[in-house]
Amino acid sequence: MASKKVLGLTAATAALVLGLTACGGGEDGNGGGDSAGGGEAFQFGILYPQTGSLAFLGPPQLAGAEYAIQEINAAGGILGTEVPAPTQGDEAGDAAQANEAANSLVSDGVNAVIGAAASGMTQATYDTITGSQIVQCSGSNTAPDLTDIDDGGYYFRTAPSDLLSGPVMARKIVEDGHQSIAIVSRADDYGAGYAGGLQTELENLGAEVVANETYDPDTTTFSSVVSAVNDAEADAVALISFEEGAQVIAELLETGTEGDQLYITDGLNSPELGTSVNESDPEIVTGITGVAPGADNEAFNDSLAEFAPDLETFQFGPQVFDCVTVIALAAEAAGSIAPADYVAELPNVSAPEGTECTTFAECRDLLADGEEINYQGASGNIDFDDNGDPTSATFQIFHFGEEGYETLGFEEYSVNE
C-alpha cells in the first residue's frame, strides 16, 4: 500500500515506512504535519463519488465534511491544532478505482477516512483502510452486510442500515391503505438488504407481497420486470434503485401504474426526478412518495446551505458532518490523533449515559471538565453499537405533490422498537 514511498529504500527502511503508514501517518498518527499551533494536525481523508452514477451524492458529502471541519477550527481545532482541508479520493462507482483511491489516502497518512459513499465501494475498500488501522466512517452506507465485516473495530457509519429503512417504508405504504405490494430492487447488496427488511415488515403488518423482482443494475431494459409487476396486479409498487430507477418509473407509469402507487428509496431522492423520468413532462412523477435517511434539523440545513449555497440537495450531508465531528470528539477524549488510540472512544462519546451536547465546542468543553458525553448529531441520535452501527435514525418522508418536491415529515426508528 505504500510501495511508491519506499521505492529504492533498503529493506529495513522500507519495512519501517510501511509500518508507520499502516498506523495512519506515523508513530503518532499524524497525517497533517505541524500547524501554526505547534501541535500535530489531524488529517481527514474523504472517499466520495466525484464521478460515476452516484456523483450527485458527492457535493453534499464534501460540503458536510468541510463544514464540520470549519466548525471544529472555529472552536480551536482538534487538541488545539487547526484541521487542514480533507485529502480527497474519487470512488467513481468502480471497485478498482475506489480501492486505488483508498490506497492513496492510506499512503498519504490520513488519520481517518470519511466514506465511501456507496456500500459496494466500502466493501471494496474497507480492508485497505481498516486493515491499516485507520478509522473509516461513512455517512451514507446502508447495506446490512457491512454490519459483520472483519474491520478490526475500525469501521463506523452514521447512516442507518436498510434493516431500519425497510420497516419505515413498509409502515408508510400500509398507512396509505395499500395491502398488495410488488417489490422491485437492484440485484446487489443494497437491493437485497432493503427488500428483505421491507418484505418482512410488510408481512408483519398484514400486507401481502405479491411480487419480488430484481434486475441487473447494468441493464438498459426493464420490460420483463415491469411486465411481472403488472401481472401481479399489486396496488402499490416499492422501487429500490439508484438513478436507473428513473427508467423503471417511466415504464411503470406508461403501462398503467399511478404515481400514488409508487414508493421509492434514497437512491432517487432528488427534486429533479421528474426531469429524469420524462424531460418533456416532469410532472409525471406527481404522487410518488419516498423514504430516505434524513435530518429533522432545519437549523443545520440552513447553516449548510449558507456554507455551500450551490448545493441542490442535502442528502447525507448531516450524516457526513456527524462522522467528522464524532471522530474529532473521540480524538479529544483520547488525547491523541492516532486511530489506534482514539477508536475506542467513538462509542463512548455518543453513548446515552453521557451528558447530551450538540456541537463540537460544547462537547469538547464537557470532556475537558471530565464529563462523559452523548453527542447528539446533526442527523439525530447515533449511539453506536458494538459493530459501529447507529442504533436509531431519522428518516425523511419525501413526496412529489402538485407543487413539486416536498417533505411530508420525519420519522424516528430504533432497533429497540
Cis amide prior to 116 (ω within 30 degrees): yes
Q: What is the pTM of this model?
A: 0.81
pLDDT-above-70 percentage for the chain: 90
Which of 66-70, 265-269, 366-370 is predicted least confidently?
A: 265-269
> Each residue of 285-330: pLDDT tens digit?
999 999 998 888 889 989 999 999 998 888 899 999 999 999 999 9
> Each residue of 249-262: pLDDT tens digit?
999 999 999 999 99
Set out the domains of the chain in order of their start, with CATH numbers.
3-159+316-346+348-383 (3.40.50.2300), 163-295+394-414 (3.40.50.2300)
DSSP one-letter string for 123-144: HHHHHHHHTTT-EEEESS---G
> Each residue of 400-413: pLDDT tens digit?
999 999 999 999 88
pLDDT at 75 over 90: yes
Q: Which candidate, 88, 131, 98, places its Cα nearest to that of 1?
A: 131
Cβ pair 249, 239 in contact under 8 A? yes
> Each residue of 80-116: pLDDT tens digit?
999 999 999 999 999 999 999 999 999 999 999 999 9
Structure confidence at residue 416 (pLDDT) = 64
Which of 42-46, 75-79, 269-273, 286-290 is predicted least confidently?
A: 269-273
Strand partners, 411: 395
**Rounded mean pLDDT of 276-282?**
96
Cβ pair 117, 138 in contact under 8 A? yes
Strand partners, 137: 114, 156
DSSP 359: S
Which pLDDT band holds residue 414 (cuts at 50, 70, 90)? confident
Which pLDDT band holds residue 152 (cuts at 50, 70, 90)? very high
Which of 103-107, 154-158, 160-164, 300-304 is predicted least confidently?
A: 160-164
pLDDT at 233 over 90: yes
Number of Cβ within 10 Å of residue 289's Cβ equals 21
Residue 41 Cα to chain centre, angstroms: 25
Question: What is the distance between the alpha carbons of residues 356 and 285, in angstroms, rounded to a whole number?
Answer: 41
Three cell numbers, residue 34:
505541524
Structure confidence at residue 162 (pLDDT) = 86
